[in-house]
Amino acid sequence: MPDVITVSVQTGSDSFRDVVVKIERPTYNKPFLGGFRNVSTGVEFHNAGSQTKPKKRPDKGIQLLCKETQTVVEKNKPQQTRNTTSTQMTKIGLYVSNMTDKLITPGKYFTAEEYHKRRLKAVIVLQKYFRRWHAINLVQNLKEQWRLRLALEAQEELRKKKEKEDKLRREYEKKLNPKTKEDFELLYHDLELWMQEETERINRTLTGAERKAALCALLEEETQLIACIGMHKLDANVENQQKAIFQLLVLQIFLKCAQPRRWKAYDGKITEMDTKNSLRGKELLEIYHSISTKDIPKDERTSVLLTLKCTVKEHECKLTQEIVALIDREVDLMSREVKECNLEGLRKRICTLFLQYIKIPEFNPRVSGLLKVPQDPLKLYKNVYFCHSCEKYLAATEFLLPANSRTIGRCRSCYQLDNEARQREAYLKYRLILENLRKSEVDYQDDSKIVFLVQLPDLQYLIENVWNCQSALSACSDLYDLVMVRWDKQHEWSPWNTILLTKEEADAHLKICNLQKTYEGPFIYRIEQKHIRAKNYFSQIPAMSSYLHRSNNQANAN
């Protein structure tokens, strides 16, 4: 509705007059006053009220104030003690004994100033004894904290010493019984260190023909040690191959085939059901465990072989016929009292053929969902590369690609063989640092990517050439105790946002909120110089250039 409306008012039979009406809008919402609803039509009617605007009082030009007065309310109430007492003195006709009376004499009069001096002296005495008690407690608390600190430091020192001893013992055990590639890397690295020490000793102490003879003897001894390491490597490869077959084939295929089907009900309970195929998988798993068990009596072995024979005879094919023939041969040889050491090859053939029998979906239906389907060779052409060293076509995962490489070089096996023959470096320390760094970056959950682009050779260059294989704070050079963390924890890790510290120093560094207030200027300047060196090296890598430009833009914005 507009603020002003015009209303036509009839003044006579044929005459009308227009009246201008100004609408005054209420400054408040009118309350609901009730109403009723017509039952037949359903129309609602509300009660309404009207109120004209009150008139203002004329302003007299004098400020008027409202005053109120309040008198004090008085109340009289008599009180009486519970026990009524009285005092009686001696008089004529009355004797009151004074045996229990006390003679009170007035003391020395003292002024208010003397009274306050005495109170101040008493307060000083109280403060003296309180401060003495407080100082004793404070010293005792400090002594207890110092004792706990010494005990904690001794315990931490003992823990570090124990960890170092355990690490040395594990390394010694790995060198005595090498099993993995890292163990053989340590062996070859120790061999190279020994060779360098012996060569230096011979060059320092001997000359002429004696030096040549000593070097020849040293070379022959090195050859024998390399041959011994090679024998250990062959034995370890055979053992690792057997473990891989058992873990990848037996555990993954057998256990999954023998598992019952499971589903979750609406109430959260898990329901399991053994199907025909899962029972078949359990049966084959039990048979395989039985035939692969060693040192069992002949009667049990014969029973197991007969059970296996009945199981494979259910399907007629070339494989089952060969298994049955081998079973008959073993039973015949056992009946002739042949030694078990001469039956090991035959029993391995039976286990291998039975494993092939289990991997066929026609005989074990549940294995069809576990076996890898052969991929189309045409789709693998882009992921296969040629190694110019061993002249083999291998998958891309078999090549070690540093971040600054532009071509496909040698495969991992060729790098390892070259390292064993020439440099004999142990990369275990760098590998542990890289694994710890990636785990710590995953814990941040800020989608950091650069740490997964950095490979082992890049990290080795960063540690050796930029950080000189030592902690930035304590100069500790034991790589087993060093870790890489973020220099500024607000930004993701990168070669130009990192620092090499010990584990204890890294924990303390990550708790720092303001680096400028915590570290001194010269130390921050040295760290920035190392970051500049890392930038100069990694700026040549195409994959790192985009992240480098982004970090520069952020630094300029800050």
Based on the fold, state whether residues 348 and 382 are members of the same structural domain: no
pLDDT tens-digit series, residues 135-186: 999 999 999 999 999 999 999 899 988 988 888 888 888 888 888 888 888 8
What are the backbone dihedrals phi and psi of residue 540, each rounded to the nearest 5 degrees, phi first? -80, -10
**Can you tell me the mean pLDDT for 196-206?**
89
Based on the fold, state whether residues 433 and 414 are members of the same structural domain: no
pLDDT tens-digit series, residues 7-34: 888 888 788 888 888 887 766 666 777 8
Q: Return the minimum-mean-pLDDT range out of 65-74, 307-316, 438-447.
A: 65-74
Buried b (16+ CB within 10 A) or exposed e, 203-227: eeeeeeeeeeebeeebeeeeeebee
Is 137 within a domain? no
Residue 374 pLDDT exceeds 50 = no
Is 189 within a domain? no
Return the SS3 of 384. strand
Based on the fold, state whether residues 437 and 523 are members of the same structural domain: yes
Buried b (16+ CB within 10 A) or exposed e, 487-520: bebebbbbbbbbbbbbeebbeebeeeeeeeeebe
How many structural domains comprise the chain? Answer: 3
What pLDDT was estimated at residue 144?
Answer: 96
Q: State both tokens at 298.
A: 């002949």
Q: Tell me 484's DSSP state.
A: E
Based on the fold, state whether residues 434 and 535 are members of the same structural domain: yes
What pLDDT was estimated at residue 276?
Answer: 74
Residue 257 pLDDT exceeds 60 = no
Q: Return the minimum-mean-pLDDT range out of 225-229, 273-277, 472-476.
A: 273-277
* Choice between 256 and 368, residue whose per-residue pLDDT is larger: 368
What single string gives the DSSP state of each residue in 139-207? HHHHHHHHHHHHHHHHHHHHHHHHHHHHHHHHHHHHHHS--SHHHHHHHHHHHHHHHHHHHHHHHHH--
Chain-centroid distance, C-alpha 365: 41
pLDDT tens-digit series, residues 43-86: 888 887 666 666 677 777 787 776 666 677 788 887 776 766 66
Residue 422 pLDDT exceeds 80 = yes
pTM: 0.55
Closest CA to 357 of 399, 314, 396: 314
CB–CB of 495/462 below 8 Å?
Answer: yes
Residue 416 pLDDT exceeds 60 = yes
What pLDDT was estimated at residue 143?
Answer: 96
By the 10 Å C-beta count (0-12 exposed, 13-18 middle, 19+ buried), 257 is classed as buried
**Can you tell me the mean pLDDT for 257-282?**
73
CB–CB of 515/507 below 8 Å?
Answer: no
Based on the fold, state whether residues 504 and 470 are members of the same structural domain: yes
Closest CA to 466 of 527, 405, 542, 544: 527
Is 359 within a domain? yes
Based on the fold, state whether residues 419 and 433 are members of the same structural domain: no
| Residue type for position 432 | L
| Cα gap 558→556, rounded to integer Å | 5
Based on the fold, state whether residues 280 and 359 are members of the same structural domain: yes
How far is CA 254 from each of CA 44, 349, 367, rounded to the nearest angstrom? 78, 19, 8
Based on the fold, state whether residues 533 and 472 are members of the same structural domain: yes
Is 390 within a domain? yes
pLDDT tens-digit series, residues 274-289: 777 777 777 887 888 8
How far is CA 468 from each of CA 193, 471, 551, rounded to the nearest angstrom? 20, 8, 25
Tally of helices (H runs) and strands (E runs) in the chain = 16, 10
Q: Return the minimum-mean-pLDDT range out of 69-73, 172-176, 413-417, 535-539.
A: 69-73
Based on the fold, state whether residues 349 and 395 are members of the same structural domain: no
**Can you tell me the mean pLDDT for 215-226?**
90
Based on the fold, state whether residues 493 and 388 are members of the same structural domain: no
Based on the fold, state whether residues 283 and 381 are members of the same structural domain: no
What pLDDT was estimated at residue 375?
Answer: 44
**Can you tell me the mean pLDDT for 120-131?**
96
What pLDDT was estimated at residue 119?
Answer: 94
Percentage of residues in the chain having pLDDT higher than 70: 86
Is 451 within a domain? yes
Q: State both tokens at 81.
A: 């003690």
Is 95 within a domain? no
Contacts of 502 (CB under 8 A, 6+ apart): 471, 473, 474, 476, 481, 482, 483
Based on the fold, state whether residues 399 and 490 are members of the same structural domain: no
Residue 113 pLDDT exceeds 90 = yes
**Can you tell me the mean pLDDT for 390-394?**
84
Q: What is the mean pLDDT of the chain?
A: 82
Q: What do you get for the CA distance between the two ends of the chain, in Å?
A: 57
User: Which range among 306-310, 406-410, 540-544 has the greatest average pLDDT?
Assistant: 306-310
Chain-centroid distance, C-alpha 315: 52
What pLDDT was estimated at residue 123?
Answer: 96
20 strand-pairing partners: 6
Q: Return the minimum-mean-pLDDT range out of 124-133, 233-242, 485-494.
A: 233-242
What pLDDT was estimated at residue 213?
Answer: 92
Is 188 within a domain? no
Question: Strand 4-10 relative to strand 270-273: parallel, antiparallel, unpaired?
Answer: unpaired
Q: State both tokens at 522.
A: 């010269």
End residue of a domain, out of 424, 457, 491: 424
Provide the pLDDT confidence category of residue 111 given band limits of 50, 70 and 90.
Answer: very high
How far is CA 139 from each of CA 49, 125, 130, 148, 151, rounded to the nearest angstrom? 82, 21, 14, 14, 18
Provide the pLDDT confidence category of residue 363 given band limits of 50, 70 and 90.
Answer: confident
What pLDDT was estimated at residue 88?
Answer: 74
Is 203 within a domain? no
Q: Which domain holds residue 328?
A: 270-371
CB–CB of 496/535 below 8 Å?
Answer: yes
Return the SS3 of 98. coil
